[in-house]
Amino acid sequence: MSLLSEIYKTLGFTYRNFMITKRNFFTIFETLFWPVLGLISVGLMSIYLDLEERYFAFILVGAITLSILQVSQLDVAYVLLFDIWSKSLKYTLVSPISGWNMILGSWLFGIARGLIAFFILFLSSKAIFNVSLLISFPELILFLFGVFLSAKIIGIITCSLLLIFGYRAEIFAWTLSAIFMLICGIYYPVSLLPEAIRVISYSIPLTHFLEYYRSFFGFETSFPDPLATGYFLSFAEISLLFLFYLWALDRARKRGTITQFSE
């Protein structure tokens, strides 16, 4: 098993997602139209409510994070969805690839799409609302990478559910990120949430990454080091969820789900 060969297998999924996105108007829409529309509507609402600039930034951070999370996690889910829709899953899974090749390759393209969405929204918030969300470059990168890890978490959950529940689970590709954002404090601090839900919020890395970014605009964080907490939780959860994904894949091979998806 040469490293170069493994890299190439991983990039196979990046290449496929790129080629499909390039040709698919719908996926371009996902990257540009909905995120910008969301930002403008939330921005206008903030102007109407006459929010202070730091609260305005708080809201916009939520809107932007939701968009990049949604765009990036979709690419991870697409690694199975494109094959399921085309009924070609067996041709992908008969090749000597690992679960990591699939998740990592599609996630890389998700990062690229997420970065494009971020820069468009970042520039739009400055141009349209004159709100700068700029923080120092390394801190911005650390925040973004954290959000991309959260996208990977959601993507792995969606892929696992697809293998377990079949076509019915594709709805999760469009709903899970919104549910995550709701729990993680999209437009409000998580301290507002009922205590039982707050416990769940703290177990989700995205909560800490959002608090980390918002801390640069003067907001308090729930934990002393939200970045370290977020990264620790991300790596722990990705490891566990990846095992869950491998179990779901193995279960699909036992139950004949892969061949059913290809008929």
Partner 1 sequence: MIYKSLRSEKVALKGVNLKIPKGKIYGLLGPNGAGKTTLISIMATLLKQTRGKVEVLGFDSIKEAREIRKRINIASGNPNLIWSLTVYENLRYYAMLYGIRDRSVVERLIDTFELREFRDVEFNRLSTGNKQKLILARAFVNDPELVFLDEPTKGLDPPVAKRLREKILEMQKDLGISIVLTTHYMSEAEMMCERVAFINRGEIVAEGTKKELKGLLKMRDKITIETDSEIPHQISLPDGVYMMERDGKSLSFYVDDAEKRLWEIASEVAKFGRIKNIAVKEVDLEDIFNELAK
Does the footprint of partner 1 cover residue 87 (CB under 8 A)? yes
CB of 70 to partner 1, least distance (A): 21
Q: How far apart are the first and last CA of the chain?
A: 32
Measure the CA–CA gap between 205 and 146, rounded to whole angstroms.
Answer: 8
3-class SS shares of the chain: helix, strand, coil, % to 5: 85, 0, 15
CB of 159 to partner 1, least distance (A): 17
In what helix (H) or strand (E) does residue 205 lie, and over which residues does it extend? helix 205-215
Tokens of 259: 């061949």
Give me the half-sphere count of Cα atoms (radius 13 Å) on the Cβ side of residue 131.
26
Angle at 152 between CA 62 and CA 27, to 5 degrees: 75
Of the two residues 93 and 169, which places its CB atom closer to partner 1 in the complex? 93
Of the two residues 126 and 255, which places its CB atom closer to partner 1 in the complex? 255
Phi then psi for residue 241, to 5 deg, are -65, -30
Does the footprint of partner 1 cover residue 263 (CB under 8 A)? yes
Of the two residues 20 and 140, which places its CB atom closer to partner 1 in the complex? 20
- Whether residue 61 contacts residue 214, with contact meaning beta carbons closer than 8 Å, is answered with yes
CB of 164 to partner 1, least distance (A): 13
Does the footprint of partner 1 cover residue 11 (CB under 8 A)? yes
Measure the CA–CA gap between 108 and 86, rounded to whole angstroms.
Answer: 22
Name the segment binding partner 1 (CB under 8 A); options: 32-40, 80-88, 192-200, 211-219: 80-88
Does the footprint of partner 1 cover residue 203 (CB under 8 A)? no
Does the footprint of partner 1 cover residue 24 (CB under 8 A)? yes
Name the segment binding partner 1 (CB under 8 A); options: 51-59, 121-129, 195-203, 251-259: 251-259
CB of 23 to partner 1, least distance (A): 5
Does the footprint of partner 1 cover residue 111 (CB under 8 A)? no
Residues, the chain, total? 263
Does the footprint of partner 1 cover residue 139 (CB under 8 A)? no
CB of 71 to partner 1, least distance (A): 19
Give me the half-sphere count of Cα atoms (radius 13 Å) on the Cβ side of residue 53.
10
Residues that bind partner 1 (CB under 8 A): 2, 4-6, 8-9, 11-12, 15-16, 19-20, 23-24, 82-83, 85-88, 90-98, 101, 250, 253-256, 258-260, 262-263
